[in-house]
Structure formats: C-alpha cells, structure tokens
Amino acid sequence: MGLERYKGIVPDWEGFISACSRPLPTVIRTNTIRIDPSALRARLERKGFSLTPYPGIPELFRVTESCVTKTIEHWSGLFYSQEAAQALPVIALSPQPGETVLDMCAAPGGKTTQIAAAMENRGLLVANEPNGRRQQALLSNLNRLSVLNASVTSYRGESFPMKIKFDRVLIDAPCSAEGTLRKEPRLREGATQATIRRLAGIQRRLILHGYDLLKPGGILVYSTCTFAPEEDEAVVAFLLSSRDARLEELVLPIPHATGITHWEGADLPAELSRCARIYPHHFDSGGGFIARIRKP
C-alpha cells in the first residue's frame, strides 16, 4: 500500500503528498559552542547567502543557496547541515550543562553535537555507535564542531553496560526511515511489513534498555524518522506495559500532530496522544515521531 496506509492518520493528506514531492530545503544549525546564531547569520550574509530563521528555533536557518556547505564556516564547524525536523528530538530532551547524558544511537553525530552545545560542553555526554564505519563520521563531526565533553563507545544499544545511570537518554532509533522520503524518493513506496516488524523488534529492546539506564526522575526521548505506528506509538506502548514509565506532554516550537491512539482496528493507550508526529508539510522538512518519557 505504500504511504496510502497512513491516509487515515495524516492531517491534510493533500498537503502531505504535495510536500513529499518537493525537494528538501537547505537547512543549517548553528554550532553555539563556537558562534552565536546572529553572528553566524551576519557572517554568511556578508558572503552573499540568504538566511531565514525558523521561528522558535533560533539556531536553525533555511539557506537559499545549497553551496553554503562548501564554505570555510562549514569546514571549521560553525554550523551543521541537517533536516529541520532532526533538531526537534534534542529540543524535547532539553539536556542541561553538567548532566550525564547518553545518545544511544549517535552516528553521524548531528544530535550528539546539538546535545553537546545545549550542555555548553559541560558534564558527560556518552555517544554510543556500534557500527565502526558510521563511528568514523561521528568522530569526525565531534572533532569538527569542537565537542569536548563526549566519550564515544561502541556497544550494541540493547547491551549498553548498566554500571552508570543517566540523567537523560536519547534513542534516535534505527527505523524504516519513511520520513526521509524527500531525499530518498524510493521510500515513497513505503517500507515492507517484514522490514517494519524486524525494526520494531530492535526498537522494543532499545527503548526498554534505555529506560533502565535512567536515574530516578530521568528523561528518555524516543524518536524515529518514520511514519509507521508499529515503530512509533506501538514501541512506546510496549514500554508503558513493561515499566512504570510516564509519558510527558511535548512542547515543541513548530506545528505537529499528536500521537495516535487507534491503529488498524486496535486501541492504543490514550496517553500516546502526548507524543508528536511530524509530517513534511508541517514546516517544510522531513517527517518523524517523538516521545518524551520520565522515570518516576
């Protein structure tokens, strides 16, 4: 069925389909470890680039010219190029200076470097990435963006050692990635059911272990870049049925849809409406899912 399976849950279906067929805009996130957003904007505009800020997210700019990534400002780590939607999980996580934070699935490092900037390079940030090839990209970005408080590990997420407990854990889970369809047109056909089932099994193991790694009162953010409820709400529902976890209301600075509580004839826990679904037509980006969970 491809994307048609989501027709009943996507608000403004025509707007969604229209946005999916357009190319992604070029978006950059200021590396506030190195430079203030206003200073970066002024510097790039002096070079002839056209920057438009995102309301409510001062670090993000839409840039008219895609060649901005060929500048010395990019090479020297003053900004990171990414989809706008990918900034939202770290905003939901809200890491603070001096905390102990785990990014369980860290490569290529966009969210890791955003976490480090929010922490002002203070505290302990563990960037975990089991794939050796992807770890090289992670290490390169940590170095380029001047991250000093990160320790890189290479455990399977579901086997991460339990010797330390964290104030916050981010699980940006491996997923079927349907939300990246604007840069990967083949994904417009949707993921296969076999792929979704396989990934959902991995995601359930990751979210359970990530939750167990939290200190009491700690925060877990679970995010994906897919539309599939089996990988989104159903994974969070699994955690809620397995642990005394509390879903928190999400406050995001952009338009979004709420999590669904009914899918393919089955009811899901009512509190899943506190989750957020991001669709490409919400603010001209990719799509995804975010849940913020507290350990009592």
Distance of alpha carbon 294 from alpha carbon 221, whole angstroms? 9
Q: Is 67 a catalytic residue?
A: no
| Residue type at position 85 | A
CB distance 197 to 230 below 8 Å: yes
Beta bridge partners of 124: 100
Quote the CA–CA distance of 118 and 198 in Å, as a whole number: 34
- Token pair for 13: 């279906």
Contact between residue 152 and residue 135 where contact means Cβ atoms under 8 Å apart: yes
Catalytic member of 20, 105, 225, 275: 225
The Cα diameter of the chain in Å comes to: 56
**CA distance linking residue 2 with residue 4, whole number of Å:** 5
b or e along 139-164 (b: 16 or more beta carbons within 10 Å of the residue's beta carbon)? bebbebbbbebbebbeeebbebeeee
DSSP per residue over 67-122, as a string?
Answer: GGGGSHHHHTTSEEE--GGGGHHHHHH---TT-EEEESS-TT-HHHHHHHHHTTT-
SS3 category, 179: helix
Which 8-state DSSP code applies to residue 189? Answer: G
Q: Which two tokens stand for residue 20?
A: 């999916």
Active site residues: 225
